Amino acid sequence: MTQAVRHDSMRARNLGVVLAEVRRSGPVTRAALAEITGLTKTTVSKMVGDLLQAGMVAESGTLRDGERGRPGTAVALSGARVAALGLEVNVNHLSACVVDLTLAVRLRYAQAVDNRAASPVETLSHLGRLAHKAVDEARLAGLVIAGTTLAVPGLVDGGLVHTAPNLGWRDVRVAELLDFPVEVDNEANLAALGELWFGSAPDDFLHVSGEIGIGAGLVVGGTLFRGARGLAGELGHVVVVPDGPECRCGGRGCLEQYAGQDALLRAAGLDGMAEGVPVLLERLEAGDEDALRACRRAGQALGVALTSAVHLTDPGTIVLGGVFAPLFPWLRRPVHQTMTDRLAAMRRSVPDLAVSRLGGDAATLGAAGQVIHRVVADPWSHVATARTDPGPR
Amino acid sequence: MTQAVRHDSMRARNLGVVLAEVRRSGPVTRAALAEITGLTKTTVSKMVGDLLQAGMVAESGTLRDGERGRPGTAVALSGARVAALGLEVNVNHLSACVVDLTLAVRLRYAQAVDNRAASPVETLSHLGRLAHKAVDEARLAGLVIAGTTLAVPGLVDGGLVHTAPNLGWRDVRVAELLDFPVEVDNEANLAALGELWFGSAPDDFLHVSGEIGIGAGLVVGGTLFRGARGLAGELGHVVVVPDGPECRCGGRGCLEQYAGQDALLRAAGLDGMAEGVPVLLERLEAGDEDALRACRRAGQALGVALTSAVHLTDPGTIVLGGVFAPLFPWLRRPVHQTMTDRLAAMRRSVPDLAVSRLGGDAATLGAAGQVIHRVVADPWSHVATARTDPGPR
């Protein structure tokens, strides 16, 4: 029994080592894998066999190892079978995406919905239908969903959303309200991971998710910083004006009251609805004074909050995402100017400002990517499931 | 040659493994060390021999291994020989301490000096004299200094202090201005490490160093968070009031302008001199209205900045140190109340507020502790030096 457990844990470790190496250096032959990993050729062949059977790698033609090596059949990571589902509930949209093992995006869905007008049960039932539709379509493409992560704009603790102020959620047991297993995580954290894995950001950055709420995810050395209890990155509630207007979080003068989507649209004389941002963009392009002033002020408030964030967390680059991505041409200057005025004398340099290429998709992509990264880190747990799955129906 | 290098690197690794185990479970016999580490008895005996010769462990009587084991001579970590020097330059004091390998504090010196009135060269020459005095006295006690770390209240990059606004330093090449090798690090970071190693703080906390400036060090899971370039934790420059008074950092309305030692003393009607804090404490104890109001307002500003810090970094506990330690009885309530008002509705709980038992000594202790932790992590580099050192003269 103990012997068997030890044997399994060694196989699990070896399987992970081989898959990681195929991912890093594939297409690669079994002989080269044995040399790089230090495992015997027999072990490597067994591991590659398991991975082939699970559809995690595929043979990809003949390859000569170095100058002296004999030609061998190479294997590479395969996107044909194992995939992950990423989901997002945000204030004014629901979205889903399917990403395969090679991190290629296979399917994307997004629906504009006012989730503030619905109960958590209604919203999650709506999301459930979207998820099933995505899984069905993925099956038709030969994919098996290895796991699902859901992004929520709130403070999350396991399957429980403690609070999501802008959705009006409090203590919602999300995992129990869906009919499939799901991991729940904070939207801003997942958006930062999405930027890391699917965007063009370097390994050290603060990703700012501008939505109705404003969240941030700090990546240092390629790793997401989560704080002591996983609740770090709430940039939207950094205090900008201590006696400013009341915020839905219970505080006062939070950044969201100056630069959140609702606040920004209101300041530009627009209604805070889903179609508001396209209209705001039209007015900005037309040079509308109210719209320009609203963006300038939002940018200055964002610059003040980011000044505090830079002093506290010392990020490499700052990446503006979510609705801040399309608004970047108008936000860049006031944000940069405010930060330079406040930071340049003390710091050697002010962090660069960059725009996210992913925009509103970052969190959903990060959610799916998190599942893929776990499968790659521990393929063993997944292999058994994948092998017994009947496959597409 | 390559063979020798490999052999040395294996010995270095084994020496580290054995020392770490002696530290964790000593007093412990060689037989038990072999069993725990999986090294052969011969290797363990050789490593223990090296560590004995270097004075890093000492024999400590006979010990029976478990119920069946034969009695053997036990070894334990020894504080008799290897030690570290911690130094601090702050705005109104210089200090030094010597800590031995067991983290026992062997010597402490502190001098009240107004370092703003002196040039960096004068201050560092003064510090150099203090350091030599400490090393001489340590030698008389049989100690050998394995290394020195200096804490400075500013942004540090290698041996260069980029800026220390409250000292008036800019681009000071500290390492070149001292006649002994020294590593330079930020005061608030080292104070947090001091709290971790010498204080009573748990593994997740934000340590706030209240001095003329205010810095913070965030420890998560027992590790200091330093940010992308090592410049994280500048709590003193978190924006409290965006259009507030100008700060020495070049910004406006920074926390230091409301809760730094100078600002606090001025608000209480006292002069910002070194003797100011004891006088402030006397007045607070006597119930002086101006002093009480000044502390209340400083506490509120600290509560606002900590609200932003909690939202961004999610610390476990908040530990108030430096001059905030003696002022804790008067600061606790306004800080806690401000944080509760702003955080309680959104977060499950507001971080606990605790007082540092180390007060102003935290940074100097952390500086020395950092050297000891490096020696323990890599005793091999140290063993050669220690073995050839003639010892106390």
Pairing of strands B317-322, B205-210: parallel
Residue of B nearest to A234 (CA): B311
**Would you say how long chain A is, in residues?**
393
Neighboring chain B residues of A226 at a CB cutoff of 8 Å = 314
Residues A205 and A282 in one domain: yes
Q: Cβ of B314 and A347 within 8 Å? A: no
Residue of A nearest to B189 (CA): A312
Q: What is the pLDDT of residue B69?
A: 62
Residues A224 and A284 in one domain: yes
Q: Cβ of B227 and A347 within 8 Å? A: no
Q: What is the pLDDT of residue B67?
A: 54
Do residues A148 and A360 touch, judged by C-beta distance below 8 A?
no
| pLDDT tens-digit readout, B172-200 | 999 889 999 999 999 999 999 999 999 98
| pLDDT tens-digit readout, B53-97 | 999 999 988 777 655 567 788 999 999 999 999 999 998 889 999
Neighboring chain B residues of A165 at a CB cutoff of 8 Å = 346
- Percent of chain B past pLDDT 70, that is, above it, reads 93
Residues 6+ apart with CB under 8 A from B267: B290, B293, B294, B297, B298
Residues B45 and B182 in one domain: no
Residues B368 and B343 in one domain: no
Residues B334 and B235 in one domain: yes
Q: Cα–chain-centroid distance for residue A324?
A: 16
Instruction: Examine residue B299 and state whether it is found in any structural domain, yes or no.
Output: yes
CB contacts under 8 A, A 198-237 vs B, are 204, 216, 220-221, 225-235, 237
Mutate which: A302, A311, A314, vs B, most B CBs within 10 A: A311
Q: What are phi and psi of B45, to 5 degrees?
A: -60, -40
Query: Which one-letter amino acid corresponds to residue B117?
Result: A
Domain membership of residue A316 as a residue range: 200-357
Which DSSP letter does residue A203 get? Answer: S
Instruction: Examine residue A142 and state whether it is found in any structural domain, yes or no.
Output: yes
Interface residue A163 vs chain B (CB under 8 A): yes
Q: What are phi and psi of A345, to 5 degrees?
A: -70, -35
Can you tell me whether residue A94 is helix, strand or coil? strand
Q: Cβ of B225 and A228 within 8 Å? A: no
Residues A124 and A228 in one domain: no
Neighboring chain B residues of A238 at a CB cutoff of 8 Å = 308, 311-312
Residues B70 and B114 in one domain: no
Residue of B nearest to A301 (CA): B242
Q: Cβ of B314 and A226 within 8 Å? A: yes
DSSP H or E segment with residue A108: strand A105-112
Residues A309 and A329 in one domain: yes
User: Residue B256 above 50 pLDDT?
Assistant: yes
What does the DSSP assignment read for A14-37?
A: HHHHHHHHHHHH-SEEHHHHHHHH
Do residues B335 and B329 touch, judged by C-beta distance below 8 A?
no
Between the alpha carbon of residue B165 and those of residues B123, B172, B185, B214, the distances in Å are 15, 12, 15, 11
| Residue whose pair of structure tokens reads 């002022």 in the numeric block | B327
| pLDDT tens-digit readout, B117-159 | 899 999 999 999 999 999 999 999 999 999 999 999 988 988 8
Q: Please say which residue of A27, A48, A77 terminates a domain.
A: A77
User: Looking at the DSSP assignment, which residues form a beta bridge with residue B185?
Assistant: B151
| pLDDT tens-digit readout, A272-284 | 555 688 999 999 9
Q: Cβ of A311 and B227 within 8 Å? A: no
Q: How far is B371 from chain A (nearest CA, A)?
A: 24
- Of A388, A255, A234, nearest to A331 by C-alpha is A255
Rounded CA-CA distance A391/A393 in Å is 6
Q: Copy the structure tokens of residue B96.
A: 């030094």
Instruction: Examine residue B17 and state whether it is found in any structural domain, yes or no.
Output: yes
Q: Please say which residue of B16, B49, B77 terminates a domain.
A: B77
Residue of B nearest to A189 (CA): B312
Interface residue A337 vs chain B (CB under 8 A): no
Pairing of strands B214-220, A160-164: unpaired
| pLDDT tens-digit readout, B214-248 | 999 999 999 999 999 889 999 999 999 999 999 98
Q: What is the CATH number of the domain that holds B50?
A: 1.10.10.10
Instruction: Examine residue B393 and state whether it is found in any structural domain, yes or no.
Output: no
Q: Cβ of A311 and B238 within 8 Å? A: yes
Q: What is the pLDDT of residue A1?
A: 39
Instruction: Examine residue A257 and state whether it is found in any structural domain, yes or no.
Output: yes
Q: How far is A200 from chain B (nearest CA, A)?
A: 17
Q: Cβ of B304 and A239 within 8 Å? A: yes
Residue of A nearest to B342 (CA): A251
Q: What is the pLDDT of residue A2?
A: 47
Instruction: Examine residue B367 and state whether it is found in any structural domain, yes or no.
Output: yes
Q: Please say which residue of A77, A108, A131 terminates a domain.
A: A77
Residue of A nearest to B233 (CA): A312
Q: What is the pLDDT of residue B215?
A: 93
Q: Copy the structure tokens of residue B235.
A: 């709590």
Q: What is the pLDDT of residue A13?
A: 87
The C-alpha angle B325, B327, B328, rounded to 5 degrees, equals: 65
- Consecutive sets of 10 residues in chain A, 393 residues long: mean pLDDT of each? 60 91 91 89 93 93 67 91 96 94 95 88 95 96 96 90 89 92 94 93 91 92 91 95 93 96 92 74 95 97 98 95 95 97 89 91 96 93 63 35
In chain A, how many domains are there?
3
Residues 6+ apart with CB under 8 A from A289: none
Instruction: Examine residue A393 and state whether it is found in any structural domain, yes or no.
Output: no
Residues A257 and A345 in one domain: yes
Residues B168 and B214 in one domain: no
Rounded CA-CA distance A40/A35 in Å is 8
Neighboring chain A residues of B220 at a CB cutoff of 8 Å = 225, 227-228
Instruction: Examine residue A228 and state whether it is found in any structural domain, yes or no.
Output: yes
User: Residue B8 above 80 pLDDT?
Assistant: no
Neighboring chain B residues of A204 at a CB cutoff of 8 Å = 228
Between the alpha carbon of residue A232 and those of residues A213, A226, B176, the distances in Å are 15, 5, 39
Please give the mean pLDDT across all residues of chain B: 90
Q: Cβ of B312 and A233 within 8 Å? A: yes
Residues B227 and B266 in one domain: yes
Q: Copy the structure tokens of residue B38.
A: 């999986």
Rounded CA-CA distance A159/A177 in Å is 10
Q: What is the CATH number of the domain that holds A116?
A: 3.30.420.40
Residues B21 and B133 in one domain: no
